[in-house]
Amino acid sequence: MSETILRIPTLETERLRLRAPRASDFEAYADFRTGPRATFLGGPYNRAEAFEQLAALIGHWLLRGYGRWMVADRESDRPLGVVGLYYPEDWLEPEIAWSVFEEAEGRGIAFEAACATRCHAYATLGWSTVVSLIDPQNTRSAALAERLGATREGVFHHPGLGAMDVWRHPGPGEVA
């Protein structure tokens, strides 16, 4: 008998732990995915869809070797959002994606986690470029992309989600 071993690294920042999703994260994740904050992500969804999406976070790691982490508070391990590398079949190219739960909004959580994610993509995976795809109406995410040093370089037309702005992050040699 053989087995498949899934390895999801854990990253730590000053305030955060980027870790594998757990079953105990489901309620916080479902609250986000079933609520109005999921609008820019094609939602809101129902709880069953939220469960499938949480499971897909883990599956992405198995299929691609990278993925999105559950962002948790380092002290309490309370889930605060989902941030990481995302590249589904119908995407333009790999991206840094972020979604923070309501209690994490406006605290720099997405910025801190996205910086750690970009560092991982460049230093560990050896990538030379990465984008973020953002709904043109999502001004908060666009502001975060700018704060991360990304520049808007065009529009990607997704067959289901519609037009998304392409924000190109600075390369490994350009990141401070």
| HEC readout, the chain | CCCCCCCCCCEECCCEEEECCCHHHHHHHHHHHCCHHHHHHCCCCCHHHHHHHHHHHHHHHHHHCCCEEEEEECCCCCEEEEEEEECCCCCCCCEEEEEECHHHCCCCHHHHHHHHHHHHHHHHCCCCCCEEEECCCCHHHHHHHHHCCCEEEEEEEECCCEEEEEEECCCCCCCC
Domain 16-126 falls under CATH 1.10.3720.10: no
For the stretch 38-68, pLDDT in tens is: 888 888 999 999 999 999 999 999 999 999 9
pLDDT tens sequence across 82-105:
999 999 999 999 999 999 999 999
Task: Decide: pTM greater than 0.85.
Answer: yes
pLDDT per position as a tens digit, 134-167: 999 999 999 999 999 999 999 999 998 899 999 9
